Amino acid sequence: MNSAQLHSELQLPAMPLVIEKLEDFVEQLYQSFEAQPRLVHLLLDAQLLPRIVNTASKMRYEALIVLLKKHYPHCDETLITQTAANLRYIMSASTWRYYRQMFDFNMVASVQCARMVIRQAIAYLNSK
């Protein structure tokens, strides 16, 4: 089975089309990871990770840029791309695993951390 097939087995939620749904999205995303932790671990294997980063992760990053540009047209390109990068990092299996294993957070605490970062990023853009 290749990385694309493994990735599709996770049945990840679609990126939202509005900013207000990002927090719900990250919770759904983490629930998908939580439902299949062994598959996530396999996908994060050193040999498969670059393929995922160059496909699904890049697409999520690009979707975030489009979403942020739509909602924050007054913000400059650098701010949009940096915010998208930070949000994309939070919306990853690596971050989910880091919260769960490194800090031994349960699912609720992991989601709360991710939601906090999203709120902080959006508040920052709103202040500009």
Q: Is residue 10 part of a domain?
A: no
Split at pLDDT 50, 70, 90, the class of 25 is very high
**Which domain range does residue 46 map to?**
18-127
Residue 93 included in any domain: yes
Residue 96 tokens read as: 């989910």
DSSP 53-90: IIIIIHHHHHHHHHHHHHH-TTS-HHHHHHHHHHHHHH
Does the pLDDT of residue 10 top 90, yes or no?
no
Any domain includes 117: yes
The predicted-structure confidence for 65-101, as pLDDT tens digits, reads as follows 999 999 999 999 999 999 999 999 999 988 999 999 9
- Report d(CA 7, CA 23) in Å as an integer: 22
Q: Which residue has the higher pLDDT, 9 or 123?
A: 123
Task: Give this prediction's pTM.
Answer: 0.88
How many domains, in total, are found in the chain? 1
Q: Which letter, b or e, does each residue of 100-126 get, where b requires 16 or more Cβ atoms within 10 Å of its Cβ?
A: beeeebeeeebbebbbebbeebbeebe
Name the band, by pLDDT with cuts 50, 70 and 90, for residue 2.
Answer: low
Phi, psi of 10 (to 5 degrees): -70, -20
Q: Per the domain annotation, does 3 fall within a domain? A: no
In a domain, 5, yes or no: no
- As a whole number of angstroms, the distance between CA 25 and CA 118 comes to 11
Residue 104 lies in a domain: yes
Cβ atoms < 10 Å from Cβ of 34: 15
| Rounded Cα distance, 49 and 24, in Å | 25
Is 36 among the domain residues? yes
Average pLDDT over residues 26-49: 84
Question: Is residue 74 one of the residues assigned to a domain?
Answer: yes
